[in-house]
Amino acid sequence: MTANDGKPALVARVKGILLRPAEEWAKIDTEADTIGDIYRRHVLPLAAIPAASHFIGSTVFGYSAMGFTFRPSVGAALGTALVQYGAALVGVFVLALIIDALAPTFDATPNRVQAFKVSAYSATASWVAGIFGLVPALAVLMLLGLYSLYLLYLGLPKLMRAPEAKALGYTAVVIIAAIVVALLLSLIMAPVSGLFSGRL
């Protein structure tokens, strides 16, 4: 894909990475993109899916438990959605930095753009699965986003040129790093979300 590609290319990329991941990673490996290209074409639209879905789902359907339904105010829901979106945009870049920094440890080839490709495209499944946030009762189906771990396993060694003997270890460490990054961002963003929603 090129930097001028639009919605049809995005749909094709999503279908490719989800349905034919090995083949799609081979294409991604050779693409001469910048980090900005990938953000604009792939990350910005897809990372918005979970945030937008949670906003709509929480304000329209609310959260139900034990016969009670809670609906946050539009302001609170919007604040949470914006913070969630911002965290996704930051998280994908931070994880790319970690992937790149860890490369020498596993005899892989450091490359910031390739590392960002791995981080951004492997997250596709989790972002797409965020659509289930539209209906809070179906939120458990967001676990389908764990398919992103498999995408990471396939793409990381290929794009970062990690030897087969160290590919699994590299992937495992990156997965742990991704979990830590997500937890840290949640801790940092939670009070920000509270302040934001309190002013709307």
pLDDT at 200 over 60: no
Closest residue by Cα to residue 41 from 80, 85, 8, 74: 8
Question: pLDDT tens, 135-175?
Answer: 766 666 667 888 999 999 999 999 999 999 999 999 999 99
Distance CA 116, CA 121 (A): 8
pLDDT of residue 148: 93
Q: How confident is the model at residue 2 (pLDDT cuts 50, 70, 90)?
A: very low
The residue whose two tokens read 């860890």 is 102
Answer whether 87's CB lies under 8 Å from 187's CB.
no
Among 35-49, 65-79, 143-157, 175-189, top mean pLDDT goes to: 35-49
Answer whether 78's CB lies under 8 Å from 200's CB.
yes
Average pLDDT value over all residues in the chain: 87
Answer whether 34's CB lies under 8 Å from 49's CB.
no
Q: What is the DSSP string of 144-185?
A: GGGHHHHHHHHHHHHHTT--HHHHHHHHHHHHHHHHHHHHHH
Distance CA 26, CA 145 (A): 22
Question: pLDDT tens, 77-111?
Answer: 888 888 899 999 999 999 999 999 999 999 999 99
Kindly state the tokens that stand for 72: 């946050």
Answer whether 95's CB lies under 8 Å from 21's CB.
no
Global pTM? 0.86
